[in-house]
Structures are given as C-alpha cells and as structure tokens.
Amino acid sequence: MLAVHCPRCGRPAPVSLASPDLMECAACHHRGPPPAEAAQGLRAAAHIVFQADVRRRQLSDALRRTLVTASRRHARLLVVFALASVPITGFAALVLLGIWISNDSDGRLVTGGMVVAAWLGTVGAGAAVLALVRRRQRRMEEACAARPPAAPGEPAACHVCGAPLDGGGDGGGDGVIARCGFCAADNLVAPAVLERVRARQVVIFRSFEDAVGAELAAFGRATSGAAAAVVATALVVPVAVFVLAVLAVVIAESRRLPVDAAVRYAVVSTPAGQCVGKVASRADGGVAVRFGGFRRAELPEEQALAPGAPIDAVSPGALVGRAVTAKEGTGVVEEVFSSPLTGNSAEVRRADGTSFSSSIAGLCLEGAPAR
C-alpha cells in the first residue's frame, strides 16, 4: 500500500494500485482523485509491480504449509514442553512438601534451594525456547499479512497493491491465505493476525518470496528443532543443576564453622540405645527430643519427654572422644563443627582409619568416653 497526502486535510491516506485514480481519506472522508503527481507515481509503481514475475508475489507450497500450520506447530511444542516438565515439577513439589511438613530444619535451606533452582532452570529455559519460536512465528505472519479492514464489514486489502480481497481462500490454506484478484499476491488473512497488525502498512515492490522466505526458513529451522530442544532442556538442566548442587555440597561440607551454641541437645533412651537429639518444644506445650533427617532407621523422628522429666543435657564439645554409632557406621568423635547442610555435625573416625561426618542429632553413644 502507498500513502498519499489528502488534498483536503493533508493527512496520509492509503491508495490502491488497483485504483490509482481514487483515494478515500479516513480522517476527513474525502473521496476523489489524488493529486496529479501522486497519481502518476502510483501508475509507475503499478508498472513496477506487474513487470515482475507473478510467482515472486506468491508463496510456494512449502512456505504456504508453514504459514498455515504455524499455530498448530507452536501448540504441539507447548504440549511437548508441558509433558517434559511434569517429572521435574512433580519431583520438586514432593521434595518441597517433605521439607514443609518435616519438623527438622537441618539442610532445609540448601535442599530447598537446589530443588527450586532445578525447577526454575528447566521451566525458564523451556519458556525461552518457546518464546523464541513464537517470536519468529509472529514476524513471519506479519511479513505476509494483508492490510486489515478499514472498518468492520469491509474486506481486507492486499498488502502489495491494496486491492480488496473479496474471498479468503483463493490461494489455498483453509481460508488462511487469500490470493489478490488484481496482482495475484498471496496474503495472510487470519483474523488474529490482522488484528495484531491493524496499524501497520507495508509497501512491497520486490520479491515477495525473497522478503518472506528468510523468515519462513528461520521459523522452520526453529520449530523443527524446538521440540528436541525442549525435551533436552527438561533432561539436561536438572542433571546440570544436580552436578552443580553436588559440587556446592562438597564445597559447603569442606567448611568447618563454629558449633551453633543456641541448639540444645539431650541424651535419651531409645530403641537404638542412648542417643543424642535436639531439644525442641511441642505444639501442645510439651518437650521432645528430635533426631533429625539424617538419623538411623531405628530412631523415630522425635521422642516426647514425660511432663516434668529431667533433661539429660549434653554439649556438642562433650562428645569429642566418645564412641558413637551413626547412620554411616561406628567410630570415635574427633571434632564437632557446624555444617551449612547438616547443621551441627561431628567428624567420626572408624576403627579402620576412615572417617565420616554426621549430624550430632541422631548419634547414639557407645559406652564410656574413650581415653
């Protein structure tokens, strides 16, 4: 479409190459011939358009199919992404639910952070792929779109010559692509696309297929590999986050911070013997000893103390030199410290010279202090 200044109000008004001697101004409703110089330029422009091979204003079969199926392909990608996101979303939900209902706070921040990072990484990367595909689709559609109707009930206009598009399916494509009856150019007339580009006017006096082909080819490349990219993202990102999380845990566990003195510990009789747990208040006003999430299988999550029962308190430092049994095995406590993952912890050396770290809550005492 070309815009010609209205001789009455001076505002630009579209003029069709199919009717170069008639213009209609939407601003002042002037209807009549454009200025002589403008009419001459319009006829010259029409000559340029019709000098070119008509096939250069039309979409090839492959490009037409790409346009017609663009929305369906995007919808399929959404389905693939949704299905690929189900495992990590379900896993994250279960872990976070377990953290929320657990009474133990050891490692809660680190574990929750790793799970959230894995979920955000997967969903964020997948959403970025989908957004890129959608952006390419919209650019492709707008490059081929007809000129939207000037008023409700009027036909759309050819984006090349401006002639009205009476039908909607001369060019094939289930009514999505219309072929201009004047210049034989192909136009995308999908209502959603026309609404999006209502204020846009495009003038094309060169190869239509060359102008649009690059966008179509780019869109085809993006959509053909997008499903694989979404699936790969859903699989690779959690693995990458897991590897990074393991590295973070290794680095965090290598740090030896001072013991958190605010945590109180007590020794109580349990099915596994005399074991150490954290003293905590219960919702009913009572007191319980909690053994944490890193406890042995024989230990309960917590053990309530009888009302008024004395508390056999123990400090973490008093455990150094004591023989203990933990989930990882039996040995002698060599050092106590605070860990970012397990909270207050103990370094325990086995009889064979190897050692392991264990949360203080959940250690079970084995006899008298070692000498």
Mind listing the pLDDT tens digit for each residue in 265-316? 999 999 888 999 999 888 777 899 998 877 888 888 888 888 878 889 999 9
In this structure, is residue 340 part of a structural domain?
A: yes
Q: What is the pLDDT of residue 206?
A: 43
Q: How high is the pLDDT of residue 3?
A: 60
Mean pLDDT computed over 101-122 = 70
Beta bridge partners of 346: 336, 358
Phi and psi of 252, rounded to 5°?
-65, -40
| Predicted local confidence at residue 42, as pLDDT | 66
Highest mean pLDDT of the ranges 149-153, 308-312, 327-331: 327-331
Report the share of the chain in percent with pLDDT over 70.
71
- Find the DSSP H helices in 188-207: 191-196
Q: Which of 230, 254, 278 is the last residue of a domain?
A: 254
Same-domain status, 233 and 92: yes
Question: Per-residue pLDDT averaged across 339-365, rounded?
Answer: 89
Calpha distance 173→61 (Å, rounded): 10
More confident residue, 186 or 121: 186
- Residue 26 placed within a domain: yes
- Structurally, how many domains does the chain consist of? 3
More confident residue, 52 or 39: 39
Q: Which of 219, 254, 289 is the last residue of a domain?
A: 254
Q: What is the pLDDT of residue 50?
A: 67
Say whether both 153 and 290 belong to one domain: no
C-beta neighbour count of 179 within 10 angstroms? 21
Q: Is residue 93 domain-shared with residue 65, that is, in the same domain?
A: yes
Domain check: are 170 and 198 in the same one?
A: yes
Helix axes 208-253, 108-144, angle to 10 degrees: 180
The most confident of 157-161, 205-209, 287-291, by mean pLDDT: 287-291
Assess whether 214 and 312 both reside in one domain: no
| 259 located within any domain | no
221 within a domain of the structure (yes/no): yes
User: Which residue segment(s) compose the domain that 351 sits in?
Assistant: 265-365
The verdict on 37 and 153 lying in the same domain is no
Residues in the chain: 371
Assigned domain for 260 exists: no
Residues 39 and 182 in one domain: no
Q: Which residue has the higher pLDDT, 257 or 236?
A: 257
Beta bridge partners of 273: 270
Q: Are 107 and 343 in contact (CB under 8 A)?
A: yes
Instruction: Indicate the SS3 state at residue 219.
Output: helix
Q: Is 134 among the domain residues?
A: yes
- Average pLDDT estimate for 29-42: 73
Read off the pLDDT of residues 190-200 as tens digits, 9 standing for 90 and up. Answer: 888 888 877 55
Per-residue pLDDT for 54 more than 90? no
List, as own/partner pairs, every contact residues 16-23 make where C-beta atoms lie below 8 angstroms and the sequence separation is at least 24, other chains included. Answer: 16/157, 16/158, 16/161, 16/162, 16/163, 16/164, 17/42, 17/45, 17/46, 17/49, 17/160, 17/161, 17/162, 17/163, 17/182, 17/183, 18/158, 18/161, 18/162, 18/163, 18/182, 18/183, 19/163, 20/46
Residue 43 located in a structural domain? yes
Rounded to 5°, the CA angle 330-352-366 comes to 25
Domain boundary residue, one of 205, 229, 254: 254
Q: Residue holding tokens 């973070």?
A: 248
Could you tell me if 119 and 237 are in contact, meaning their C-beta atoms sit under 8 angstroms apart? no
Residue 317 — pLDDT band, cuts 50, 70, 90? very high
Same domain for 109 and 228: yes
Cα–Cα distance, 275 to 359 (Å, whole number): 12
Q: Identify the three-state secondary structure at position 371.
A: coil
| Residues 152 and 230 placed together within one structural domain of the fold | yes
> What percent of the chain is modeled with pLDDT above 90?
14
Burial zone of 284 (CB within 10 Å; 0-12 exposed, 13-18 middle, 19+ buried): exposed
Provide the pLDDT confidence category of residue 204 given band limits of 50, 70 and 90. very low
- Pick from 90-94, 274-278, 337-341 the range whose average pLDDT is largest: 274-278
Is 75 buried (19+), middle (13-18) or exposed (0-12) by CB count in 10 A?
A: exposed
Q: Is 362 left (phi over 0), alpha (psi -120 to 50) or beta?
A: left
Phi, psi of 229 (to 5 degrees): -65, -40
Q: Is residue 96 part of a domain?
A: yes
Burial class (CB in 10 A: 0-12, 13-18, 19+), 254: exposed
Model confidence at 205, in pLDDT bands (50, 70, 90)? very low
Long-range CB pairs of 91-98, under 8 A, 24+ apart, other chains included:
91/115, 92/116, 92/118, 92/119
Mean pLDDT computed over 8-34: 72
Whether residues 277 and 308 share a domain: the answer is: yes
Q: Do residues 63 and 152 share a domain?
A: yes
Q: Examine the domain organization and report whether 227 and 284 are in the same domain.
A: no
Specify the higher pLDDT residue, 277 or 210. Answer: 277
